[in-house]
């Protein structure tokens, strides 16, 4: 498959997936989601690959949903395309958690919306001190997608997950390390060296062990994900047709605070 929104390359036992839409802060649109899923599948099918490394071009890892695309969809009354993106980002998180390989995410900037929840779906996150994780959904009248509440509540606890989702507060890399979302935090200049060290250590292990561990984690914690995913998509679909969502997107494009009215 030819990629236009990401790059994907394999070097020995490491596959590298890079988000390549820095002009829109690596916002997710339908083609990008489909290409990410194709890259995950290619990693799954490659018996030589042990680690899938996910990173991003530019100073922002990802804003989550493409806000330019959201504005277009609101202007053209094309809400079904946004519902499709919500469906796809959940599938991405699902695929990362079920991938029988190590998923290592490298972040060096803001990680918002769906991208923040994909980070929780990763097995390891190595973050620079410039990283912030943001549950940005409430700012545009939506609720977390990409399996957000399902993943976060299991990772950091129900109350913390609820508070982050409801406030949209940025979670610093330092705090994310304390919460257990981040495996290692380093200054930006030492990020590559640290990633190389972690990969070297992991590649000493047996892929058989990693497959078994991921299967056991899935069985013990995530087997009922599908029922949650159905509810998440239902609620996102309902919220996307509300006036508050349209106001949130327009307010963002106009760089003002949204005036939500609960409609």
Written as one string, the DSSP assignment of the chain is ---SSEEEEEETTEEEEEE--GGGTT-B-HHHHHHHHHHHHHHHH-TT--EEEEEESSS-SB-SB-HHHHHHHHHTT-HHHHHHHHHHHHHHHHHHHH-SSEEEEEE-SEEETHHHHHHHHSSEEEEETT-EEE-GGGGGT----TTHHHHHHHHH-HHHHHHHHHH--EEEHHHHHHHTS-SEEE-GGGHHHHHHHHHHHHTTS-HHHHHHHHHHHIIIIITTHHHHHHHHHHHHHHHHTSHHHHHHHHHHHTTS-------
Is the residue at 65 inside a domain? Answer: yes
Q: How confident is the model at residue 236 (pLDDT cuts 50, 70, 90)?
A: confident
Q: How confident is the model at residue 220 (pLDDT cuts 50, 70, 90)?
A: very high
For a pLDDT cut of 70, what percent of the chain falls above it? 100
Is the residue at 12 inside a domain? Answer: yes
The residue-averaged pLDDT of 190-218 equals 96
Q: pLDDT tens digits for 31-84?
A: 999 999 999 999 999 999 999 999 999 999 999 988 888 888 888 888 888 889
pLDDT for 205? 95
- Asked if pLDDT for residue 127 goes beyond 80, the answer is yes
Q: How confident is the model at residue 110 (pLDDT cuts 50, 70, 90)?
A: very high
Residue pair 46/10 in contact (Cβ under 8 Å)? The answer is: yes
Domain span at residue 252 reads 1-188+207-263
CA distance 185 to 127: 5
- Asked if pLDDT for residue 176 goes beyond 90, the answer is yes
Is the residue at 23 inside a domain? Answer: yes
pLDDT for 140? 86
The residue-averaged pLDDT of 162-189 equals 96
Is the residue at 197 inside a domain? Answer: no
Total residue count of the chain as it appears in this document: 263
Query: For helices 148-156 and 114-121, what crossing angle results, to 10°?
Result: 50
Is the residue at 201 inside a domain? Answer: no
Q: pLDDT tens digits for 138-159?
A: 888 889 999 999 999 999 999 9
- Asked if pLDDT for residue 1 goes beyond 80, the answer is no
- Asked if pLDDT for residue 204 goes beyond 90, the answer is yes
The residue-averaged pLDDT of 221-250 equals 87
| Residue 26 Ramachandran class (φ > 0 left, ψ -120 to 50 alpha, else beta) | left
Q: How confident is the model at residue 128 (pLDDT cuts 50, 70, 90)?
A: very high
* Burial (Cβ within 10 Å: 0-12, 13-18, ≥19) of residue 118: buried
Q: How many domains does the chain have?
A: 1
- The candidate with the shortest Cα–Cα distance to 109, out of 156, 63, 140, 161, is 63
Is the residue at 221 inside a domain? Answer: yes
What CATH number corresponds to the domain at position 111? 3.90.226.10
CA distance 43 to 49: 7
pTM of the model: 0.92
What does pLDDT average to over the chain?
A: 93
For a pLDDT cut of 90, what percent of the chain falls above it? 72
pLDDT for 125? 98
Q: pLDDT tens digits for 72-92?
A: 888 888 888 888 998 999 999
């Amino acid at each position: 498959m030819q990629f236009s929104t990401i790059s994907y390359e394999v070097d020995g036992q490491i596959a590298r997936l890079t988000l390549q839409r820095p002009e829109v802060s690596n916002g997710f649109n339908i083609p990008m989601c489909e290409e990410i899923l194709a890259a995950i599948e290619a990693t799954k099918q490659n018996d030589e690959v042990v680690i899938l490394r996910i990173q991003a071009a530019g100073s922002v890892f990802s804003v989550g949903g493409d806000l330019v695309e959201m504005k277009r969809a609101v202007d053209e009354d094309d809400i079904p395309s946004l519902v499709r993106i919500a469906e796809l980002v959940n599938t991405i998180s699902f695929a990362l958690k079920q991938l029988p390989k190590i998923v290592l995410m490298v972040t060096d900037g803001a990680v918002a919306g769906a991208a923040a929840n994909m980070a929780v779906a990763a097995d390891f996150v190595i973050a620079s001190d410039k990283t912030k994780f943001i549950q940005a959904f409430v700012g545009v009248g939506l609720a977390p997608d990409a399996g957000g509440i399902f993943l976060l509540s299991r990772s950091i606890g129900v109350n913390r997950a609820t508070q982050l989702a409801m406030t949209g507060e940025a979670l610093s890399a330092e705090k994310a390390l304390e919460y257990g979302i981040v495996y290692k935090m380093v200054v930006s200049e030492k990020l590559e060296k640290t990633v190389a060290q972690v990969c070297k250590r992991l590649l000493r292990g047996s892929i058989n062990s990693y497959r078994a561990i991921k299967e056991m984690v899935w069985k013990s914690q995530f087997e009922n994900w599908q029922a949650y995913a159905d509810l998440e998509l239902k609620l996102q679909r309902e919220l996307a047709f509300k006036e508050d969502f349209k106001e949130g997107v327009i307010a963002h494009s106009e760089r003002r605070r949204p005036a939500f009215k609960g409609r």
